[in-house]
Amino acid sequence: MSKSKKQTNIEGKDIIEQNNDEKTSKIPFWREKESQGRRKPVGKYGIDMGERGVYDKRNKLNDLTGKEWTYFLRSVIVEAYPPTIRNGVGFDLRKIHPSPKPPQLMKEFILFFTKQGQWILDPFVGVGGSLLGASLCDGPRHGVGIDLNPDYLAAYKQVCKLENLPEEVVICGDSKEILKNGHPELEREFDLIITDPPYANMMTRPKTGQKKRFYGQSDPTPYTLDPRDIGNLEYDEFLVEFKEIMQLAVDRLASKKHVVVFCKDLQPKPGKPNILHADIINTLVTIPGLEYRGLKVWYDQANNLFPFGYPYAFVVNQLHTYIMVFQKQ
């Protein structure tokens, strides 16, 4: 088949299609520009991107080279993501949320599981870490986020203005109701679901022991007091409601696309191991057509260490977050 070049405009940006072969994908405009003057073919499908490695035109999942792809596959992420501009991205505004995830961390996953111009969905968007991550991508992605708390969404919009980032779509309300009843901004197929849901009722529990001493108060920090908030539910009830919401979200996900879920385990209790990440996996795989693909662990070096249990018992500092990956068939 003869090669041809075709100019296409997506969101006002030029993309060059290198080949009409269905097995190849578009070379992102930002990769095309950065490689001009030094781009060399490598085999039938490879493009030499210099220090970035070799980009394979058959790559339909993302815009990464093989070198970048391989680096992402490390199972443990050891990173503090300090709260500075372009790392914390408006952290002072976003810290009204009790557990905001770093946009740079979200960006890494969005870059791997999407191509430029594609759409992400976050049914528990909070202060918008996932949407900010989408905006920070080279070749930005677009997103829709849903959250019950209008203050969180207002903080996200303030951060966008502060950082001069495009404001993605946010919908204030109960994600279960919105996903079930529909919304004009949801009338599309999404390319990735990425979310950091409540960890059952972890945030509704009062602080005790060393944390109480460190923070100077014992008050719980719930996401909201709304009875529809699954962050106020007991463990088993949370799993039931979370599955229902995620099943509604997966219905709007394109075939072969992925779901990324962040979570932390709760401290174990007698007769209750509280291995939340495993229970989420076992719950979500009961959604028809959704398969578990593996997990990564983020070790957050910015967390404080506490002498939990001292001098009487072993109580671990949970400095890591599980990041689970699923795929829709």
Question: Tens place of pLDDT for every residue, the chain, 329 residues?
Answer: 444 444 444 333 343 334 444 445 555 655 555 555 555 678 899 999 999 999 999 999 999 999 999 999 999 999 887 655 455 578 888 889 888 999 999 999 999 999 999 999 999 999 999 999 999 998 999 999 999 999 999 999 999 999 899 999 999 999 999 999 999 999 999 999 999 999 876 655 555 555 556 556 667 666 677 888 898 899 999 999 999 999 999 999 999 999 999 999 998 999 999 999 999 999 999 999 999 999 999 999 888 899 999 999 999 999 999 999 999 99
CA dihedral 111, 112, 117, 121 (to 10 degrees): -90
Domain boundary assignment for the chain: 6-70, 79-328
CATH 1.10.3720.10 for domain 79-328: no
What was the pLDDT predicted at 99? 84
Q: What is the pTM of this model?
A: 0.84
Note the pLDDT of residue 19. Answer: 43
Q: Which residues contact 12 (CB under 8 A, 6 or more apart)?
A: none
CA distance readout (Å), 229 to 126, 203, 264: 12, 12, 18
| Residue 211 vs residues 153, 219, 231, 304: alpha-carbon distances, Å | 28, 11, 20, 10
Question: First-to-last CA distance in the chain?
Answer: 31
pLDDT at 41: 73
